[in-house]
Homo-oligomer: A and B are copies of this chain.
Amino acid sequence: MIKVSVFYPNGAGAKFDMAYYLATHIPLVRQKLGGACKGIAVDQGIAGGSPGAPPTYMASGHLLFNSVEEFQSAFTPHAASIMGDIPNFASVQPIIQLSEVKL
């Protein structure tokens, strides 16, 4: 199983609309990716690791797929509409990472 993580960096003035993300963006992603996407998780940053430290990421979304190939096949045809929705809820560009789920 692979995980596509989309991290929205925190920073001065950075904004993230979690209500829009959950109500509009995630359903859009789910609809466009279809059955290739085996699961979706969403985290909202609370704090960093040191007392009083802010979170590194305002929010992150994590999508599960059977393989990198299945992710690419599902995502590529819809990349423009999915990525084009980002300015509707985030003032920053996300960091994207592909990982293998080990546990």
Which residues of A come within 8 Å of B, CB atoms? 2-3, 5, 7, 18, 22, 26, 40-49, 55-57, 60, 68, 94-103
Q: Are A49 and B97 within 8 A (Cβ)?
A: yes
Q: Which residues of B contact A97 (CB under 8 A)?
A: 45-49, 55-57
Per CB-CB distance, the 7 closest pairs between chain A and chain B, nearest first, are A49-B96, A43-B99, A42-B103, A42-B102, A46-B98, A47-B98, A44-B100
Q: How many copies does the complex hold?
A: 2
The prevalent SS among residues of A at the interface is strand
A103–B94 alpha-carbon span in the complex (Å): 18
* Known contacts A56-B97, A97-B56, A97-B57; A102/B44 CB under 8 A: yes
Most buried by B among A26, A42, A97: A97
Give the nearest-CB partner of A68 in chain B: B46
Q: Which residues of B contact A26 (CB under 8 A)?
A: 103
A53–B99 alpha-carbon span in the complex (Å): 13
* Known contacts A96-B49, A97-B48, A97-B49; A103/B41 CB under 8 A: yes
